[in-house]
Homo-oligomer: A and B are copies of this chain.
Amino acid sequence: MRILVVNPNTTASMTRKIGAAARAAASPGTEIIAVNPAEGPVSIEGYYDEAMSLPGLLKTVAEHRDADAVIIACFDDTGLDAVRCMTEAPVIGIGEAGFHAASIVSNKFSVVTTLSRSIPAIEHNLVRYGLASRCSKVRASEVPVLDLEHEGSSARAKISAEIGRAVSEDRAEAIVLGCAGMTDLAASLSAEHGLPVIDGVAAAVAIVEGFVRIGLKTSSRGGYAAPVNKSNPAVA
Contact = CB atoms under 8 A, between A and B. Distances in A.
A211 B10 contact: no
Number of this chain's copies in the complex = 6
A232 B120 CA distance: 20
B207 A47 contact: no
Contacts of A101: 211, 216
Interface residues of A, number: 89
B90 A100 contact: no
Contacts of A117: 222-223, 225
B128 A130 contact: no
A233 to B, nearest CB: 8
A224 B47 contact: yes
A68 to B, nearest CB: 13
Interface string A183-227: 000010000001110100011011101110111111111111101
A27 interface: yes
**Interface core residue of A51, A124, A129 (most chain B CB under 10 Å):** A51
Given A52-B82, A107-B222, A196-B218, 17 more contacts: A42-B231, A47-B82, A96-B104, A101-B211, A105-B211, A105-B216, A106-B219, A106-B221, A107-B223, A116-B222, A127-B127, A130-B131, A171-B222, A173-B223, A187-B215, A206-B209, A210-B210
16 contacts: A41-B231, A46-B225, A48-B227, A51-B54, A96-B104, A100-B104, A101-B211, A106-B222, A106-B223, A116-B171, A117-B225, A120-B223, A173-B224, A205-B210, A206-B207, A206-B210
